[in-house]
Amino acid sequence: MKTIIQLKDVWKTYDLGEHKVHALRGASLEVIQGEFLAIKGPSGSGKSTMMNLVGCLDIPTKGAIYLDKHNISHLTESNLAQIRGKKIGFIFQKFNLLTNLTALENVTLPLIFQNIAVEKRKKIAEDLLEDMGLKERMHHKPGQLSGGEQQRVAIARALAVNPEVILADEPTGNLDSKTGAKIMELLRELNTKHKKTIVFVTHDDNLAKKADRIAYLYDGQITKIKKT
């Protein structure tokens, strides 16, 4: 089994003048390629900070982070952006769709930064939205879509560059339980059928149990990891 993400004794400290806040305190974790992993912990435990570090949105204060055996701990922002664009897809709790763009335009956005030709990126986005059951909704703007539809657009956008890893930060947090369950089924399908490595953050026990393994985060440290 291949390790695709590894955190080794990772610290993230925020300097707030007279005070230092340690969001992560020597966290270590291995993510196996193709697994469905939950990171569970209460508010303030460091879950979102960990996702930002794994997702190349930030760099650690101390320790090392490896993505596909490459140390990404001290890369420049431009190099991090390149890795993000090719290897990682993000799904956020608040969807983070651009409200002035249609579903189709939102999904094509990451492809623009990869210099994909106009017609090709339109075709990729249309196919993904159709796969998400949004064929009739792709020319609607986010304000014209339900929460579940917006999250499916966000998932399609995350898949646009065909990433190896999908990171989902509380992906059902703004959805009702029935819609949230459908989104979790969709993520599991992406994992089993499309062989995507999926790491999702949750504070919900029932959602965490849908993963292959659960990593428990408390006060910035991984306290235990267990199979479900």
pLDDT in tens, 20-44: 999 999 999 999 999 999 999 998 8
| CATH architecture assigned to 3-227 | 3-Layer(aba) Sandwich (3.40)
Residue 23 burial (C-beta neighbours within 10 Å; 0-12, 13-18, 19+): buried
Q: Which residues of the chain have pLDDT under 70?
A: none
Domain layout of the chain by residue ranges: 3-227
What pLDDT is stored for residue 55 in this prediction? 87
Do the Cβ atoms of 27 and 219 come closer than 8 Å?
no
What pLDDT is stored for residue 1 in this prediction? 82
What pLDDT is stored for residue 75 in this prediction? 84
Instruction: Report how far residue 172's alpha carbon sits from residue 151's, in angstroms, rounded to the nearest whole number.
Output: 8
67, containing H or E segment: strand 62-67
Q: What is the pTM of this model?
A: 0.89
Instruction: Report how far residue 221's alpha carbon sits from residue 23's, in angstroms, rounded to the nearest whole number.
Output: 9
What pLDDT is stored for residue 74 in this prediction? 83
Backbone angles phi, psi at 103, to 5 degrees: -55, -45
